[in-house]
Each structure stands twice: as structure tokens, then as C-alpha cells.
Structure 1
Amino acid sequence: MKKHLTKVVLSCLVIAGSLSSCSKSSSSSKNVSRATGWKINAKEGGFEYNSDFKEQETPPGTVFIEGGTFTKGKVQDDIMHDWNNTPTQQHVQSFYMDETEVTNKMYMEYLDYLKKVYPPEDPKYENIYKGALPDTLVWRNRLGFNETMTNNYLRHPAYAEYPVVGVNWVQATQYAEWRTDRVNEIQLVREGFLAEDAMYAPINGEIEGTFSTEAYLNNPESVYQGQIDSLQGKKKKDSINTFAKRSSGIIMPEYRLPTETEWEYAAQALIGSREYNNYRGRKKYPWEGDYTRNGQRVGRGDQLANFKQGKGDYGGIAGWSDDGADITAQVKSYKPNDFGLYDMSGNVSEWVADVYRPIVDDQISDFNYYRGNVFKKKAIGEDGKVQVLEDKIVYDTLPNGKIVAINLPGEIKEVAIGEEETYLRTNFDKSDNRGYRDGDAGSSRFFERFSDDEDNNRKMYDAPRHKVERDSSGNLIRQYDTSNYRTSLINDEVRVYKGGSWRDRAFWLDPAQRRYLPQYMATDDIGFRCAMSRVGSKSKSKNKTVRHKKVR
């Protein structure tokens, strides 16, 4: 009996020892190259890499959307007969999306930052802040009294958690770029690459310039207008500058507008209607069922979104409101969909990244479909380094005369790609791909096939061409295109917006419905939310299933 017990104890010790050695072996092996056998992250020097990286963390304000396959453009009703949402099978990679629309409070933080870092009273900065301001005049109506919203909606605390409106597509994309830099800035502070209060230095006027993610990754010495040395944190080794890289694993991908495909996939939230590897039935709205009212026991009969009930009915009769709102509603007023996203139908429609076209060319792409790619590269200076716009601000005058800053001081200069990048390639052959396979002989017709005008000869659509010019005194001259021979309102500056709003009837609540508007225009019923691509695994670690078992 004692011999048997002794054997059992010895066996356990051997097993424990082997497990311990395996653990030590696995932990040390990740710091040894499988290619060369050299040490990784050795104190003597050599290759440095974040071997401890687990997975991308969820960015602030967002929820995780696991990618998959779905039928884009599938609607139950098409009473408009637009023929612009023909069903196509698409696959979407995993990504993150804001759980709510960007609110007035969130956008006000952006405006406050711009005002402090780029004071509008300084003539060279004047148009940075002004160009980011939402258009509060969108609330005005020739036969309606809406001045209360005009004066209060953006700034009054009563509307703090309401979705921001009056923001055009260009402004929305610039907000996303600003947000990327602020999130990565605090990431570097948290990881010790920047000093604890480094991000407040530009706001408090202690230094000029600000933080740009791309500038930091490509030319870190240029960040904060070359004053980054004084703002480095505990990672700085003695007098040696230590900078994070993409391989450090702490720099997040950019915030951006979601693509139309991502937005529709996230709004549908078909994960709640799946059975094994198939979707059950058809889902008309982001919630279950074919009706806009709650059918559950608690809250039965309540509307599930904020939309227009009928002519002259934006919320119901007093004391028994159908949806609790007449204009927009505070975010999170209604239940989220199965992904945890709020107001994917109703409240406000939302800008997405895509250039609008009536067709979706799934013959060319059925993976992360997106129309709007303009490929660029970083400009390289004579010194061989990436060019940073130190003091130069690049402005653009939109067709409606609004001036917006395209590049801020301290950002990377980008230029269109050329033959160096496209020669003998099969996947792309030019920089601007917004009109790819939409106007060429392989996909459709030109509106002026035999024209001598090269600009027109390759375009399918003939939109109005308004012009904004300046006279010798610098005054804006706005010229309207009065031609009667334009064929459509569609061009490469027209963007898609999705989802019904407080102004829309229930028909538009279907996530597959799509509309468009010029990217420089803003309304009182279009807002936006941001998205971010997921890098690495398709699903989160805790949700992964074991796909391979070791056979002994």
C-alpha cells in the first residue's frame, strides 16, 4: 500500500514538474525567434516586439461587432422604386462601433479643444474652429417657429446627450480623425511613453502644436512641433528618446465613419435570429418582429424608435406620447439591438463613408464592400523623412462656400499614388477609385460617350456644377449651375446616409434602405457615429471555441 502511495506521489511530482517546465518553456519561447533563434527584446539590443500582446482592447465609447456574412440590401418594401438596394451577399470583418450617435456633449468637447489649441482670434487659425462648427440654421423653417432649437440645441445642457446634427460628412470625418489622435495620446500616457499630463500642455498654452498619430509613428521627433522630448514619460531611458511603434501594440487603428456595409450589418444585428449556420426568417427592423411597437409584456404598445407617426404627428398626443420625443430624443431612450447598439433606426439618420451609386458591384467585391477609396501615400522630403506640415494649414472651400481645414499643423502631408505603386498591379491601378466600374464600358454607359471632353467622357453621371470663387478682394462669389441638361444629382462628392430619423415615416427605419446627400450639406435630421476596424482575431478571446484538439 505504501509503495503504491509512493508511486502516486512521485507521478504527481513528475507531472507537476513537466507542466512547470512547459510553462517556463512557452513563456521563454515567445521571446526567442523561430526564424533565427535570436532573443527578442534582449537587453543587449536587437529586435524588439510586444510578445505579450493578447488582443485589441475595446476603444472608448464603442461595442464589439463580430463580423460575418449577410444579405445586404434586402428590404421587404420598395415603394420608392429606387432600385438602389438590390440584395447582394456580403461578408464583413469584425469591427467596433459607437454604441450611440455622437452627442452634442461629445462634439462640444471637440470644439472646445480646437478653440483652445487653435484660438479663432488668431487670424491664421480663424477658419479651423469656424469650419468645425455645426450649422445651427438647419433648424429654421419658413413656416415654422424653431428658433429655440437654433439657439439652444447644440450648447444647452438640456440637449447634452442628444445626437449632434447640422454636421456635414466632411466635418464628421474630421471629428473622427481628431478623436483618433486624442485616444492614442492618452494610450501613450497610460503606457508611459508620454508624461502623465502631456495631453493638457497644448490646451493650457504651455506649448504650441498638438499630437498626431501618423506624425508620431512616422516622424516622432516632429510631434508637439518638435517639443516631444520634454513631454516624454517614464519609458524614456536616460537621455535616449523611446517611442512607441505599431509593433508595440498600443496604437489603436483610426476612428472613422462606418462603411455602408458595416452600418447595415450592425443595424440588422442578425445574431439574434440565427439557428446554427443560418438566419431564421426575415428581420425588417433592428429589433425582432415586423412592427414598430413593443409586443413584450413590459412596455407593451410602446414605440421602439423615434420616428414620424403620420402627417403632423411627431410623437403622439400630449400626456400619452407614442415615442416620447417630438424632435430628436436623448440617446439610449430606447432598447439597444442584439449587438448593444442604440438608435440604429430612428432619432437621426447617420452618415456612412461610402460614395453613393445606385448599384453595388458584388461581382468585383463581396468582402468589406466599400465605394470611396482614394489611395494616398506619405510625402517624403529631400531629407528622406516623412513630411510634416509644421506651420502650414491646408484649407478647402466647399461648394457651399464653407471653409474647412483639411490639414492641421503637425499632421502628415499626403499625396496621390503614382506609377511607382501601380505598375503591373492587378488589384488597383490608380489613386482615385470612387467611380470604379461605374461609367466605364465594362459596367454601364457614359452620359457623353463620344464627347471630346476627357473629364466628361469617363463619367456616368452629370451632376450640377456650382462654383465658388474669390474676387480680387478675397470675397466669395457663389455661382449657381443653371443648366437644364444635367442628368442627375450624383457625383463623387455625394455620400450615403442610412437609417430613419425623427422626420421619417416607418418605411425608412429598415436598415437596408439608403439615401444620399452632397457631402458638404447638413440637415437637422442627420448625425453620425464612429467605427474602428478590429485587428487580429475575428472574435474575442472569451468567445472563441476550440477548433483544434490535441490528439494524444
Structure 2
Amino acid sequence: MNLKNLVILASAFSLVASCSKKPEQSSVTGWNYNDSKMGGFQVSKEKEQRTGPGLVFVQGGTFTMGATQEDVMRDWNNVPRRVTVNSFYIDQTEVANIHYREYLYWLNVVFDADEYKAVREGALPDTLCWRSELAYNEPMVEYYFRHPSYNYYPVVGVTWKQAHDFCMWRSDRVNEKALLDRGFINKNAVKNLQGLGQENFNTKAYLMGEFQPTPGPAAKSKKNALKNPNGTPRTNVTFEDGILLPGYRLPTEAEWEYAALGYINQNPLPGKNDKKRGEELIANKQVYSWSNNVNGLRDTRHGSWQGTFMANFKRGSGDNMGVAGGLNDNAVYTAPVTSFFPNGFGLYNMSGNVSEWVADVYRPLSTEDVEDVAPYRGNKFETVDMGKENKAERDSLGRIKMRNVTDSESKSRRNYQKGDVINYLDGDSTISGIAYGYGKTTLISNKSRVVKGGSWNDRAYWLSPGARRFLEEDQSNSTIGFRCAMDRVGSPAGNGRQTGINYKQRRQNTRKQ
């Protein structure tokens, strides 16, 4: 091939390449996206949400929330109600001791100054929760949280508030690592965390421009896909870029119960040509999270699992693990977080091992009040505190200062009229003139948080996902742990699946006039 032909061929390839890089246009204005010559409006390529560390995707849907067996406690606090839960993510396992110790290590290193002593001590789990007046549990007090033998056992003695703070810390660490991995933060800047104090990475502060980390190599590279309106590389990441994840949080009661049932992997209509028909699954009325049919049985083809324990719980009075040589659940107290068989969503110990904190404020008849979609009680709306200078500021921990939404700010809205709606429609004094007499007529208060799932010290009744109890958010117990959740953005069906149903358009509807 001569030189002239090579030049022609190269020109043709160049023409094809230039045509393939035609900028995306707005379907409403015709202006180009990501074009510095046409305003420079930046639009990231559509992408799916990645799954954060430790999480499992839970495809949402409708289900019957509440009791599926006789209310032997006569609490009347779990009346069946059909609701819909949006798709979300939840931890595959309960948060373990090693995970919580990682959190404490970070606090002790970053907030090592004397002024942060209350922060460090306030995060410590209450190891004295193991003590009992008539039991010898001192080994658990001394060793359970710290000894490496218990690394992957669920952390206990953690209050609801401490679990909530752990979720916030985890959100920032995961997002900070995402920026490190992509070269938007200089790795040398985070080698020494000692004494950072307020100057630690916080997702909201970063997005609002109140925290500026040292840019990494990718941020200044010409290959950086993120551009400013003038076409130069952009050093800071925005949420619209799809790199940062939504925050970790405690699951709502409805999310937790839906995830525990694990309906997705069950098929009530077995057969070679039958598809899994999810709409019928809500009629199963299963009792426990490991159920594969209405009788609560799950076994192999040869029945080898029949008779074995599927959860860590108390079989009867004085029987927490069976007889030597034939232990039933192999755990007198808690068991490792990956013990026993996972449910339909692949989640471990949604029944038994430890009960778990969820986000909701407890009310006996919440199911009578909450919405059909994404039910939850506990909203106390907040907004950024702009301060006297109308500027966002960080608090002593490096987080953006928030304030409660006032009633005066809400009174003209149609979807809500108060900032604090924890008591909304529950017989509170504002609506009905009736108030909860906490400590006098009831143990329920605005600090009461829902606890779900049975524990190592519970009878089988409490292992049902529909069972519910409560504890004050500033108290803890040797039978209560937690796991985190995360919002799902984009298609509720999952990555690679569309939202809604798309049909082929008729030709006459697509003609240009």
C-alpha cells in the first residue's frame, strides 16, 4: 500500500471517529451536552449504582407486613397490613465486633485530642450489658468485644444512637475510598490520620465545597473525564457524576421485615415451564426468615437438613445450645455473623443470633397510620444551618451543621405541616389532646425505637420477621446488634433492568412534521 492510500485510509478513520464522538444533544433544546462551545452543561454518562461494601441488593415489592402467627403475647402491635417497599441495599450480615473496633480505632486516631474525649468514650459499646445478678458472665464482659476469637461475632451493647453514628462514619469512609481509588484524592494526604480532628473527610461537606482534600493525579490529568464548563479538568466530584454512594443508614422496619422474608427465591408453583411468579408469594404467610414453604421447612433433595437448627435461639427453659455431643445450634450466646443458612436474599441471621435495631420510632399501631409505600415513623425533618452569614458551616466533628425544620417553614406546604412528625396521628397531644405519660402509664416515648428479629436468648416466637419489640434509643442490651442499609437509586428492578415497560412506538407517532 503506497503512502497516498495510507493517507486516505487514515483520513477515513479520522472522519469515522469524529462522527462517532458527536456530542449528545438535549431533546428539549437541541443544545449539546459537555460542549464548552455551547454553554458547557455537564452531563455524566448514565450509569448504574454500584453495590457498596458488605451490601446485598434487595428488589422491592409488595408484601403483608405484620404477624403471621397467633399473637400469644397479646401485644396487638403487629396487625397484618399490605404495603410496598422500594428497592434498597442491606448488609449481608450483622455488624461484627471487628467492624465496630475499626470504627473505634478511627475515632481514637482522628480525634485524639483531649477535647474529643467525650466523642471517643461515647462510641464505646457497653460491655457491662453481659452482667446478670444471678449468672457468671464476666468472661463475656472482659473478652467478647476485644478477643480475636470473637472478631466476627455480632457487636452488642450498642445503643440505637451509636448504631446511627456508625452508619454515618461508614458512609464517609466508603465515599472517601471511592475518590481515592479513582485518583481524585491524593493518597499521601490520608496516610497519617493522627489528629485530623475536624479536618476529616465528610461527604456532605465535600459536596458543598466546605472540605477541600488534596487532589489526586486523576483530577489534574488531561484524561480526566470530569470537565469544567470551559473544558478544563475538574478536580472536585459532584453527586451527579455517579461516583459517590448514598449514605449508609439503619433500615426501616418495613425494609428489614421485607428483607427477612426473602420471598424472591421462592416459587410456589414449581414446574419445568413455570416462571417464578412473585405476585403470589405474599400469600405464603411463612413464619421464619429461612422458610422455603409455608411449613417453615428448608431441606436438600435428600432431606439432609431436616431436624437441624436454622437459627441461633433458645429452644426451651435452660436449653440454649443442647446437650454435649449433640449441640443443637452450637452457640450458647451469639454465633459468627455468617453462621446458619442465608435466606432468599442471601442474608444471614435475620432470625436469631441477635435482635437488630431499625430506624423507626415505636408505636403499637404504626401499621394503622403509615403510608402504603415506604412506610416509616420517625421523621424529624432537617435542613442545612446556614448561620448568621448565610453560609454552611462544619461542626467540631467536620460534619455540616444541620437544624430542625420549623413549623412556620412548613405551614404553607401541602405534603407536611410540621417539622417534627414523630407523633403524627398517633394520639399525640397536638391532634387529640392525649399524651403519652412516659414512666407513668406507658414505657413508650419518642425515644423508643423498634427492635426486630429474635436473639440467642429468645424463644422461637420472636424469630418471626413480623414480631416487634422496642427499647429506648440510648439504651443497649446483650441481645441487640444491628446491620446497615442504603437507598437504591435508579431502576428498582436492579442494574441492567429498565424502569417501567417500554413498547415499540407506532410509526405514525414518530414522524417528524
Q: Is the 8 A contact 2:207 2:239 kept in 1?
A: yes
Confirm or deny: 8 A CA contact 2:321 2:328 kept in the other structure.
yes
Inter-partner Cα distance in structure 2 for 1:375 and 1:530: 21
**CA distance in structure 2 between the partners assigned to 1:292 and 1:87 by the alignment:** 19
Letter in 2 for 1:417: V
CA change 1:132–1:88 in 2 (3 A) is same
Cα distance change on mapping 1:137 and 1:293 into 2, 3 Å: farther
Structure 2-normalised TM-score? 0.85
* Residue 34 to residue 133, structure 1, CA distance change in 2 (3 Å): same
Q: Which residue of the other structure, out of 284, 288, 298, is the alignment partner of 2:287? A: 284
| One-letter amino acid of the counterpart of residue 134, structure 1 | P
Classify 1:141/1:73 alpha carbon distance in 2 versus 1 (closer, same or farther; 3 Å). Answer: same
Q: Hey, what does 2:438 align to over in structure 1?
A: 463
Tell me if the contact between 2:159 and 2:475 (Cα under 8 Å) persists in the aligned partners.
yes
Task: Determine the C-alpha separation between the residues in 2 that align with 1:356 and 1:527.
Answer: 17
Partner of 1:209 in structure 2?
199
CA gap of 1:419–1:137, structure 2 versus 1, over 3 A, is closer
Q: CA separation of 1:541/1:60 partners in 2, compared to 1, >3 Å: closer, same or farther?
A: same
Provide closer, same or farther for how the CA distance between residues 61 and 435 of structure 1 changes in structure 2, counting only shifts above 3 A. Answer: same
- Structure 1 counterpart SS, 2:78: coil
SS in 2 for 1:501: coil
Range moving further from structure 2, 72-81 or 520-529: 72-81
Native 8 Å contact 2:83 2:373 kept in 1? yes
- Aligned to 2:461, the other structure's residue is in SS state helix
Task: Give the corresponding residue for 1:73.
Answer: 66
The question of whether the paired residues in 1 share the 8 Å contact of 2:354 and 2:454 is answered with yes
Equivalence for 2:378? 372
Question: Which residue in the other structure is 1:167 paired with?
Answer: 158
Is 1:234 the counterpart of 2:234? The answer is no
Deviations for 1:301-346, whole angstroms, at most 9, x for unmatched residues?
A: 2100000011110010011110111100011111100001000000
Structure 2 residue 249 is matched with structure 1 residue 256 = yes
- Aligned ranges 1:68-147 → 2 under 5 Å: 68-119=61-112, 122-147=113-138
Matched pairs, number: 471
Does structure 2 retain, via aligned residues, the 8 Å contact 1:49–1:247? Answer: no
The yes-or-no answer on 1:495 pairing with 2:488 is no
Q: RMSD of aligned C-alpha atoms?
A: 2.8
Give me the whole-angstrom Cα distance separating, in 2, the residues matched to 1:415 and 1:441: 24
Letter of the structure 2 residue corresponding to residue 378 of structure 1: V
Residue range with higher mean Cα deviation, 298-307 or 203-212 = 203-212
Aligned-residue offset at 1:231: 4.6
What is the one-letter code of the residue matched to 1:489? Answer: L
Residue 69 to residue 199, structure 1, CA distance change in 2 (3 Å): farther
Q: CA deviation at 1:422?
A: 1.4
One-letter amino acid of the counterpart of residue 356, structure 2: E
SS at match of 2:437: coil
1:187 to 169, 178, 190: 178
CA shift at 1:208, angstroms?
A: 6.3
Q: Distance in 2 between matches of 1:135 and 1:94?
A: 34
Q: Which amino acid aligns with 1:67?
A: G
Distance change >3 Å, CA 441–CA 374, structure 1 → 2: closer
SS of 2:177 mapped into structure 1: helix
Cα separation, partners in 2 of 1:307 and 1:446, compared to 1, 3 Å: farther
Post-superposition shift, 1:289? 4.2
Q: Which amino acid aligns with 1:411?
A: R
Q: Work out the percentage of aligned pairs sharing the same amino acid.
A: 43
Q: Could you say which residue in structure 1 is the equivalent of 2:9?
A: none
Structure 2 unmatched runs, 5+ = 1-14, 223-231, 268-275, 508-513
Alpha-carbon shift at residue 374 of structure 1 (Å): 0.5
- 1:125 aligns to what SS in structure 2? helix
Indicate whether 1:414 and 2:402 are aligned: yes
d(CA) in 1 for partners of 2:306 and 2:407? Answer: 62
Mapped partners of 1:131, 1:522: distance in 2: 13
Q: Gaps spanning 5+ residues in structure 1: where?
A: 1-19, 393-407, 448-458, 465-485
Q: Compute the displacement of 1:290 (Å).
A: 5.8
Deviation, structure 1 residue 77: 2.0
Structure 1 CA distance for aligned equivalents of residues 196 and 216 of structure 2: 15
Partner residue in 2 for 1:61: 54
1:264-290 Cα deviation digits (max 9, x unpaired): 000011223455222253211112246
Q: Indicate conservation of the 8 Å contact 1:50/1:249, yes or no.
A: no
CA drift of 1:230 comes to 3.3
1:34 CA drift (Å): 2.1
Decide whether the 8 Å contact of 2:79 with 2:367 is kept in 1: no
Residues 106-148 of structure 1: per-residue CA shift (max 9 Å, x gap) = 10100000000011xx320101110000000011111111111
CA distance in 2, matches of 1:375, 1:233: 39
